[in-house]
Structure 1
Amino acid sequence: MTAEPTSPSPRAPGADLLVIGGDVVTMDAGRRVVAGGAVAVRGTTIAMVGSTAAVRTMFPGTPELDATGCVVTPGMVDAHQHTTGDPLARSAIPDDIDARASIFEWAVPLHAAHEAEDDEVSALLTAVEALRAGVTTIVEPGTVAHPMTVGAALRRAGIRATLGTWGWDTPDVPFSLPAGETLARQSEVIRAFPPAAAGGDGLVTGWVTLVGHYLASDELLVGAAQLAEELDTGFTMHLAPSVDDRHAYAERSGRGPAEHLAELGVLSPRLLLGHAVWMSEREIATLAETGTAVACCPWAYLRLGQGLTRAGRHVPFLRSGGRLALGCDAHNAGDRVDVLGAARLLAGLSQDAPVEGVPPLRAHEAFEVATVGGAEAIGLGEVTGALVEGRQADLVVFRTDDPAWVPLGEHARQLVWNAPTHTVRDVLVAGRPVVRDGHVTTLDESELWAWARERSAALLSRAGIEVPRSWPVVSED
């Protein structure tokens, strides 16, 4: 449908770039689509959204990015995306082992062998993959060894991100530290990458980041929530992707995981829980009532067989007013950084395995979760997620010269059910072009690929890991 342009304030200063001619999926309050529309970018923010003629009239002589025939959307939000550990061992971890073996036979040795350069190239790889898939914001749910290096790499790639360093204080677990030391390390990262209100650049922001599960004492959980409040930032942790966390919390306190956090006073709008698959109806209600957000990573749960179709209640959570976002998890779980694919999967599963009495997720609602809803869930609802005046200019241009777009039908259904990630042509983050014609502009991709291959081989060697093969690899002259 068409829409009247939103007008900037009188005598508005000039713009730096006009994205013109495309169907602009605004995700504003009215969910308007401006056919043949335009977006004016001034500095890091959106100055105007309207018809191409109106925008050109308001900002004559401004450089243009031609999006004629394309579809323009807000950048997508990936609210649970690991950037270290797995990227250099992508598709290497066997898929016939249980979660414990995956952690202690693979993840722990890999993290133990990671050098700063490994974390750097891993973060760059993840950011490049995200940007090329139209993902402009990621929540990094924890790196072990070199968070400052990871933050610098994410900033270099030009992606909007939150950043954390994993913390836990359970004795006899690798990399464990006492609660006080864990919190001090959290504080160090946040002070190095402060929120915008505290002088940060608004692009990479430190968050309190616990590994979660059942690997945090009550002292650490409460301290983490207090630290996030003190430093005015977000807080994220993993909880209940599988039934294991339910069993652990039942033994620990006789309560479910979310019930235990509620009893401690940890649940709040600052908290983003990664997963929350194995939650009771009462816990789902409690999460919604406290404003606690959830990042759902549907492909990871299917890939790892964690029980999403048996226990997941993410759509009921959303229907009850819960703050829901999508995530793609790690490169040996969610595998691809593809939020459109995650939206498609969550919507499809809600159709095929519905919860009694709860309407399934429709395409337009799934795209909301991928954009404006995801931004709100991670506390950036006034910053990104929609193409409206005053928000950051985080936008994606999809080319439509591809079977996934021919013919052009209803925008939401085409974006979700076709999941045309491969047709991302251009991406802006905070007004900066970071993808042009399908390739990142912030670094040399070919150099990155070569660097990653080199570091991967060295990392696996240092970790003492040999990748098992399903098929024999031969070399024949």
Structure 2
Amino acid sequence: MTAEPMTPRDVASGPEVADLLVVGGDVVTMDARRRVVAGGAVAVRGRTIAMVGSAAAVRAAFPGTPELDATGCVVTPGMVDAHQHTTGDVLARSAIPDDLDSRTSTFEWAVPLHAAHTPEDDEVSALLTAVEALRAGVTTIVEPGTVAHPLTVGAALRRAGIRATLGTWGWDVPDVPYSLPTGEALARQAEVVRAFPPASAGGDGLVTGWVTLVGHDLASDELLVGAAALADELDTGLTMHLAPSVDDVHAYQRRAGRGPAEHLAALGVLGPRLLLGHAVWMSPAEIELLVDTGTAIACCPWAYLRLGQGLTRAGRHVPFLRAGGRLALGCDAHNAGDRVDVLGAARLLAGLSLDAPAEGARSLLAHEAFEVATVGGAAAIGLGGVTGALAAGQQADLVVFRADDPAWVPLGDHARQLVWNAPTHTVRDVLVAGRQVVRDGHVTTVDEAELWAWARERSAALLARAGIEIPRSWPVVTAN
């Protein structure tokens, strides 16, 4: 695509100084015109982007600025993972059997793992997840609230340098382990948000507390209404799990005689602050309710296939998007979506929509899937205009893909190459808020070798403490 002349809107106001120029690559801007600037450059000033344009124009505007050479590379916005568990499963990766239904997987495996977590386990888990995300070009994650030690996790996410929202688990229904009285559950949510306040309340804009109920059918009406009111009061987001499988549909029918989203609508909980994790089993009427109220959905396609939850039978995510819904992608937990790979999730969602198109909805094409992974996902989690695109005034969250790999040779259409080839393995450099957190494929903020050793040590101790032995598909023998 031929680069268009820059307009005044491409250059932020202020003195012509910058801290770094990312120069020479094809810049996939995801701006309002979805331009690709061939042989382009991005000027970074502090945390934000000062200019996007041709290499010559940007160098002329900011002479003498240090450069990151991206010649022959592809530069994109950082990707958004809107539903990513950072603790629990990550230290038991590939441990949970794949012949279990989702309820058994959750309550016989995931819950005991979480219950056995120490603060150190939460810390190493969060670091490991953040490093995996950054190396995959994911610069923003939404932690969906299964964190026992949120202050520890928040500090770990800040150390890694990733942009994140953070919460802690909360439910108040009787006869469920670790349930809290409604008031205590809400107070715990407020404590996390006040520890990591939104930018509007003086937060750093990197790690932000959200109200994060576990959801499903594990919240009373009082807790649901109180959580929505608390998010309004603290000017932050609200997220919860809902209807990844048909179980929640049956539960809400027994509870209220209506579907899960219909019940939330009746309580006044739906709205633009709310991000629903999953929402696979939604009726057409519920999809309409979600669109009309501005409620967002985080779709985690690999998790639904891995757990056999019925995405191909019931999923309406593409019709939701086509109707104007706010859709993001997620990678879920490490025994569900398994990999933190938003490009892979975009590829799967697009492929399923082509193979089994939803009635009355046009299939999702590569350029649209990449929008969901970046600018659309950012808008869905309330960060539109902050991240998800490379444009002046946006946060400098960007990814440099090296193109000296078969996945990029020869270079065809950028969107189709990004989605259908899903070249996560070619991520070379990553910036978050102007800080280089990945260089030459490795995270700069932690010692990776030390982290791998720490994670292996903590994993063995956690599994032993939880009383879990990994069932093996093949016999493991010691070589003589």
What residue is the counterpart of 2:217 in the other structure? 214
Please state how far the C-alpha of 1:9 moved relative to its aligned partner: 4.7
Q: 1:298 aligns with which of 301, 322, 343?
A: 301
Structure 1, 20-29 or 7-16: larger mean CA deviation = 7-16
Q: Which amino acid aligns with 1:73?
A: T
Between the aligned residues of both structures, percent identity stands at 85
Q: Distance in 2 between matches of 1:266 and 1:278?
A: 18
Please state how far the C-alpha of 1:355 moved relative to its aligned partner: 1.1
Matched-pair contact (CA < 8 Å) for 2:144–2:212: yes
Deviations 1:190-226 (A, max 9, x none): 0000001101000000000000001100000000000
Please state how far the C-alpha of 1:3 moved relative to its aligned partner: 2.1
Q: Which amino acid aligns with 1:4?
A: P
Tell me the SS of whatever aligns to 2:436: strand
Q: Distance in 2 between matches of 1:56 and 1:12?
A: 15
Does 2:350 correspond to 1:344?
no
What residue is the counterpart of 1:399 in the other structure? 402
Q: Which amino acid aligns with 2:224?
A: L
Q: Structure 1: which 5+ runs fail to align?
A: none
Tell me the SS of whatever aligns to 2:400: strand
Q: Which amino acid aligns with 1:403?
A: P
What residue is the counterpart of 1:94 in the other structure? 97
What residue is the counterpart of 1:468 in the other structure? 471
**Aligned positions of 1:167-316 closer than 5 A:** 167-316=170-319
Q: Distance in 2 between matches of 1:149 and 1:63?
A: 35
What residue is the counterpart of 1:328 in the other structure? 331
Q: Which amino acid aligns with 2:6?
A: P
Q: Distance in 2 between matches of 1:15 and 1:32?
A: 23
Please state how far the C-alpha of 1:333 moved relative to its aligned partner: 0.1
Residues 184 and 22 of structure 1, relative CA distance in 2, 3 Å threshold = same
Q: Distance in 2 between matches of 1:429 and 1:344?
A: 24
Please state how far the C-alpha of 1:175 moved relative to its aligned partner: 1.0
Structure 1, 6-15 or 108-117: larger mean CA deviation = 6-15
Q: 1:127 aligns with which of 130, 144, 148?
A: 130
Matched-pair contact (CA < 8 Å) for 2:16–2:61: no
Matched-pair contact (CA < 8 Å) for 2:217–2:248: yes
Residues 263 and 316 of structure 1, relative CA distance in 2, 3 Å threshold = same
What residue is the counterpart of 1:376 in the other structure? 379
Please state how far the C-alpha of 1:98 moved relative to its aligned partner: 2.0
Does 2:41 correspond to 1:38?
yes
| TM-score of the pair, normalised by structure 2 | 0.99
Matched-pair contact (CA < 8 Å) for 1:287–1:322: yes
Q: Distance in 1 between matches of 2:356 and 2:314?
A: 11
Q: Distance in 2 between matches of 1:226 and 1:365?
A: 34
Tell me the SS of whatever aligns to 1:435: strand
**Aligned positions of 1:411-422 closer than 5 A:** 411-422=414-425
Tell me the SS of whatever aligns to 1:368: helix
Q: Distance in 1 between matches of 2:188 and 2:368?
A: 38
Q: Distance in 2 between matches of 1:454 and 1:11?
A: 50
Q: Which amino acid aligns with 1:294?
A: I
Tell me the SS of whatever aligns to 1:209: strand
Deviations 1:139-173 (A, max 9, x none): 00013310110000000000000000010001111
Q: Distance in 2 between matches of 1:144 and 1:389?
A: 35
Deviations 1:279-315 (A, max 9, x none): 0000000000000000000000000000000000000
What residue is the counterpart of 1:77 in the other structure? 80
Q: Which amino acid aligns with 1:142?
A: G
| TM-score of the pair, normalised by structure 1 | 0.99
Q: Distance in 2 between matches of 1:98 and 1:218?
A: 27
Q: Distance in 2 between matches of 1:181 and 1:434?
A: 37
Q: 2:68 aligns with which of 44, 65, 71?
A: 65
Q: Which amino acid aligns with 2:153?
A: V
Matched-pair contact (CA < 8 Å) for 1:108–1:174: no
What residue is the counterpart of 1:4 in the other structure? 5
Tell me the SS of whatever aligns to 2:460: helix
Q: Distance in 2 between matches of 1:356 and 1:256?
A: 21
Q: Distance in 1 between matches of 2:421 and 2:70?
A: 20
Residues 11 and 142 of structure 1, relative CA distance in 2, 3 Å threshold = closer
Q: Distance in 2 between matches of 1:313 and 1:9?
A: 40
Please state how far the C-alpha of 1:4 moved relative to its aligned partner: 1.8
What residue is the counterpart of 2:54 in the other structure? 51
Tell me the SS of whatever aligns to 2:229: helix
Q: Distance in 2 between matches of 1:322 and 1:148?
A: 33
Q: Distance in 2 between matches of 1:144 and 1:39?
A: 36
What residue is the counterpart of 1:137 in the other structure? 140
Q: 1:29 aligns with which of 23, 29, 32?
A: 32
Q: Distance in 2 between matches of 1:143 and 1:250?
A: 26
Q: Distance in 2 between matches of 1:390 and 1:247?
A: 46
Aligned-pair RMSD on alpha carbons? Answer: 0.8
Q: Distance in 1 between matches of 2:387 and 2:366?
A: 20
Tell me the SS of whatever aligns to 1:356: coil
Q: Distance in 1 between matches of 2:402 and 2:140?
A: 21
What residue is the counterpart of 1:162 in the other structure? 165
Tell me the SS of whatever aligns to 1:250: helix
Tell me the SS of whatever aligns to 2:334: coil
Deviations 1:421-470 (A, max 9, x none): 00000000000000000000001000000000000000000011111111
Q: Structure 2: which 5+ runs fail to align?
A: none
Residues 62 and 224 of structure 1, relative CA distance in 2, 3 Å threshold = same
What residue is the counterpart of 2:441 in the other structure? 438
Deviations 1:217-267 (A, max 9, x none): 000000000000000000000000000000000000100000000000000
